[in-house]
């Protein structure tokens, strides 16, 4: 039986995005903060397929839900200042 890894790299790759740590950080910095009144899957920067995947995994509390929650938190955090 193959064990699937469900980390941020794997999530980004599942979404069809580069999963290396620098690319993930750039994505998060470029798209945050997501307003609190918008569900993560409804953010304008997702493709329809990506949005559907995120929405379905959260609604079903599926195997990706925990790492999607981590991404959600990271995208809602405000940047502390210029880096």
Q: Is the pLDDT of residue 78 over 90?
A: no
Q: For residue range 23-50, list pLDDT tens digits in order.
A: 999 999 999 999 999 999 999 999 999 9
Contact assessment for residue 41 and residue 55, using Cβ atoms and an 8 Å cutoff: yes
Instruction: State the pLDDT at residue 77.
Output: 82
Tell me the pTM: 0.85
Superfamily classification of domain 8-76: Uncharacterised protein PF10982, DUF2789 (1.10.10.1130)
pLDDT-derived band at 4 (thresholds 50, 70, 90) equals low
Task: For residue 72, give Cα distances in angstroms to 1, 29, 43, 46, 81.
Answer: 30, 13, 11, 13, 20
The pLDDT assigned to 23 comes to 97
Asked if the model's pLDDT at residue 20 lies above 70, the reply is: yes
Domain residue ranges in the chain: 8-76
Q: What is the C-alpha to C-alpha distance for residues 79 and 74, in angstroms, rounded to an integer? A: 10
Q: Which alpha helices (DSSP H) does the chain contain, by range? A: 8-14, 21-31, 48-59, 65-76
């Amino acid at each position: 039986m193959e064990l699937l890894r469900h980390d941020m790299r794997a999530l980004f790759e599942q979404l069809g995005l580069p999963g290396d740590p620098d690319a993930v950080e750039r994505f998060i910095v470029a798209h945050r903060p997501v307003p609190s009144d918008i569900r993560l899957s409804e953010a304008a920067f997702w493709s329809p397929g990506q949005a559907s995947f995120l929405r379905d995994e959260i609604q079903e509390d599926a195997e990706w839900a925990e790492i999607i929650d981590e991404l959600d938190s990271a995208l809602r955090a405000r940047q502390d200042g210029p880096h």
